[in-house]
Structure 1
């Protein structure tokens, strides 16, 4: 590296570093100028962590060169182009095309969840990049929003092949090292099994879920609890995904062999991105837990209503209600899996590169494309090391005594009278009513939740708290009634319950509709309330089965 007085640094006598595009804990990506070809490029610099041994430093450099080799093998407009690998002062610097734009992570932070059609278009482009990589024998292994660039011209680019694995190459990572962002890891990778192209498809499914829901489905407070959730927990149903839901659920099957094939997934994403619907046989892949047919007491308060749109009223019920529980015949297996993961994390002297949202080998991998200025704080990295003497796999009882299971919350949602037709506002006894059953895994617990509709409306006053004291029941119910002050028109929507604490989850949504009909008085007299009792009289339509969902 050379530095002329009054000028920027020059790498390998050719690439003049102009300004940082992004910086992470392990590296920086620079906007630079190629003095030979007179064009701007992105140059990736890797900094070895302080105290890292010489062999590990060389291993890191070898991995960086492998990134360039892997990406250079892929010919696709959706993959960042690698121009050169320059060596300066014994370190490799990867020179790439400069993509001007934002990462998908930055777009989600600025705009919030995306509409399903836009998310499908982005997903189709990312999947095209992955298919090209897989055909070249390259696995990406860290597909996440921070590594997807949205160029100013609309081009979608997948970057950061720094932890890619090339078929036929030797493993350059330490034994037992977990590579990638925990919440985007496929179950087989969380269990330490050999990944395949299907592992990248799982990560794409998590990316699509996060794009439309605003959060990834299995994120927990710690990397270990996140890995446990990926392996063991059911997929929280995506209720904002619309036509994208079957594709997401098809990609997020636990068994790699059962996941939606890449070619089929791309076809579906193209159709949805163009405004169409997926094929009828793209069915839900993840079964929901049993639902609860609750029968709460009628709400003592009148329903809340807003002119021109449905509204909801709620009544919290402190009574414990019986819940139809799903048989968990995998309980023993789950404890053993947790024990295996815990032992893996405790292997002496091993550093876990658990690279989260700003991750990769540095947020600079975003900068391998995005020319947005640096300045956002890089999320903290999670690393761990420890020593453990060899020991047999812990039994179930030992595991439960030494490490209590992570908290869990299940939400079952049932609806009655979900389709109303008649005069508005409907009487409360005939308006759509929904009951949520909250079940926690252990006591004590405080659950923060709210009622939301598919269009983003928040009902019943926003966030609410359900307390589960030690020694009490693990199940509570809450109910809302939906009505409208409008006199005419049809209102169609879906309702769900979103949990924020102690874990993030969302129930399946239950559709409902309110059709307001104008009654013509007979003989100049308005109908009396007795003429419109539930189930009696024309102009009403009740759903005998109601609707239900759980998460």
Structure 2
């Protein structure tokens, strides 16, 4: 990492870090300037926890590179665009388009629950991103409000493919390791079974439930009890979902083969988002083909 007197840090002799956009336990996302193309970008930095064995650090960096690879395979306005993977200090830095706005998680915390119509619009946009990803052989595996960005220009953007699993690639996780946010995991993933696109649809259902109800349906006091509830407990009926209730219940069926299809879910979400009400019939179950 180079640094000039009186200036910000520069990554790979090209990306000048200006200010942090967000920070978590795994690292920081920076607002930066591409000195070559003279545009602002977002740069994702991941910091390995102190004392982490070298093999684990390598796995973390490999997962970071996987994020860039997975997201770059998906061309869709609802998926954050990856520009570059820079190398600095022996680790990768992901360079992405800069989304000006807030996460859905921040919006829910600041403003409270959403109306069914607004939640349906956001859900339809996230589902469009997921369908594009699934068509490219990519599972997101961590769909949650914190990974949905609400852009100031009205775009809804799905980001953070850092734990995405790409069809045909080798697993980067240890046997038995749970990846993703527990309360958004599908039952088949909680049971250690091979996930498919339906697993992302379940997570979208949890996101929609949380958006209108104010809490995720299966959250418990500990991750283990949360996973047990996901597998064993019935869905608490939503009370504020209105016309969105059928879509939520359809996406949150325990058996992935019985889950609402992506086609039908997006059709209903678009209709609700436009102020309509979907028909109440139950669509036939579609075959479940794991990736």
Instruction: Please report the TM-score for the alignment, with normalisation by the length of structure 2.
Output: 0.96
Match of 2:194 in 1: 194
Match of 1:90 in 2: 90
Matches within 5 A, 1:267-346: 267-282=267-282
Match of 1:177 in 2: 177
Match of 2:204 in 1: 204
Matches within 5 A, 1:411-450: none
1:93-138 per-position Cα deviation (integer Å, ceiling 9, x unaligned)? 0000000001000110111110000000000000000000000000
Write the distance in 1 (CA, Å) between the matches of 2:131 and 2:110: 29
Matches within 5 A, 1:52-63: 52-63=52-63
1:465-513 per-position Cα deviation (integer Å, ceiling 9, x unaligned)? xxxxxxxxxxxxxxxxxxxxxxxxxxxxxxxxxxxxxxxxxxxxxxxxx
Asked if the contact 2:209–2:217 (Cα under 8 Å) also holds between the matched residues in 1, the reply is: yes
3-state secondary structure, aligned to 1:31? strand
3-state secondary structure, aligned to 1:281? coil
Match of 1:131 in 2: 131
3-state secondary structure, aligned to 1:168? coil
> In the comparison of the two structures, how many residue pairs are matched?
284
Write the distance in 2 (CA, Å) between the matches of 1:49 and 1:168: 30
Write the distance in 1 (CA, Å) between the matches of 2:278 and 2:92: 45
Match of 2:144 in 1: 144
1:512-541 per-position Cα deviation (integer Å, ceiling 9, x unaligned)? xxxxxxxxxxxxxxxxxxxxxxxxxxxxxx
Match of 1:428 in 2: none
3-state secondary structure, aligned to 2:13? coil
Matches within 5 A, 1:452-471: none
1:57-78 per-position Cα deviation (integer Å, ceiling 9, x unaligned)? 1111111101100000000000
Match of 2:66 in 1: 66
Match of 2:117 in 1: 117
Instruction: Please report the TM-score for the alignment, with normalisation by the length of structure 1.
Output: 0.51
Offset at residue 280 of structure 1 (A): 2.3
3-state secondary structure, aligned to 1:49? coil
3-state secondary structure, aligned to 1:55? helix
Asked if the contact 2:246–2:280 (Cα under 8 Å) also holds between the matched residues in 1, the reply is: no
Write the distance in 1 (CA, Å) between the matches of 2:39 and 2:28: 20
Write the distance in 1 (CA, Å) between the matches of 2:61 and 2:110: 34
Asked if the contact 1:247–1:282 (Cα under 8 Å) also holds between the matched residues in 2, the reply is: no
Write the distance in 2 (CA, Å) between the matches of 1:280 and 1:253: 16
Q: Is 1:233 aligned to 2:233, yes or no?
A: yes
Write the distance in 2 (CA, Å) between the matches of 1:80 and 1:220: 31
1:240-285 per-position Cα deviation (integer Å, ceiling 9, x unaligned)? 00000000000000000000000110000000000000112148x9
Write the distance in 2 (CA, Å) between the matches of 1:56 and 1:144: 25
Match of 2:257 in 1: 257
Write the distance in 2 (CA, Å) between the matches of 1:161 and 1:252: 22
Asked if the contact 2:27–2:47 (Cα under 8 Å) also holds between the matched residues in 1, the reply is: yes
Write the distance in 2 (CA, Å) between the matches of 1:83 and 1:186: 31
The answer to which structure has the higher strand fraction is 1
Structure 2: where are the runs of 5+ without partners? 286-291
The answer to which structure has the higher helix fraction is 2
Asked if the contact 1:16–1:32 (Cα under 8 Å) also holds between the matched residues in 2, the reply is: yes
Asked if the contact 2:252–2:259 (Cα under 8 Å) also holds between the matched residues in 1, the reply is: yes
Write the distance in 2 (CA, Å) between the matches of 1:173 and 1:17: 31
